[in-house]
Amino acid sequence: MVTLVGISGSLRKGSYNTALLRAAVSLMPDGAALDAQTIHGIPLYDGDLEAQSGIPAAVSALKEKVAAADGLIIVTPEYNNSLPGPLKNAIDWMTRPSADIARIFGDRPVAVLGASPGNFGTILSQDAWLPVLRTLKARAWFGGRLMVPHAGAAFDASGALIDDKIRERLAEFLVGFVAFIEETKSGA
């Protein structure tokens, strides 16, 4: 069984990215499971807070879920043509203490996808994550890209994915990422 953790990088209740993550949970291929997580409850990183109180419980819980998983899916919004601050903040917290970076991210397969109401569907945000993942020594998966442009038309008012083409592409993306993880696990 391949186990994945997915993190939505949006705090918005009606987030297209959270809806995309929920759709991914329901489209996982046989032999794989996706645990959808949130960044709610993670405070802004503050070295003084860390020194005084340690790692916040929400961060510790997320770190341990990622450490126990075979791979990580980052579902990223795009803010001002780049990565979103709240999600970057969560990843920054997850690198504390720095001795944990290798355990949480080192050689861990990571896929990035996202949805946006705009025309380009998070392509710039996804690209902006690459130097971060490289720095963390994660194993970014380049076998597929999934960007959902005009997300308002892909999801209904309740957040259900209603675009059949996007659903097919998401299912193919998940199959490809799981196959990548299986190859990684087998040493192929």
**Tens-place pLDDT, residues 88-115:** 999 999 999 999 999 999 999 999 999 9
Sorted by where each begins, the domain ranges of the chain are 2-186
Nearest to residue 136, comparing CAs of 107, 173, 168, 178?
107
Task: Please indicate whether residue 184 or residue 29 has the higher confidence score (pLDDT).
Answer: 29
pTM: 0.96
pLDDT over threshold 90, residue 185: no
> Mean pLDDT throughout 14-26?
97
- pLDDT tens sequence across 118-133: 998 899 999 999 999 9
Indicate the fold that domain 2-186 takes in CATH: Rossmann fold (3.40.50)
Q: Where are the beta strands (DSSP E) in the chain?
A: 2-8, 32-37, 71-75, 109-115, 139-140, 146-148
Q: CA–CA separation, 147 vs 101, rounded Å?
A: 28
- pLDDT tens sequence across 80-95: 999 999 999 999 999 9
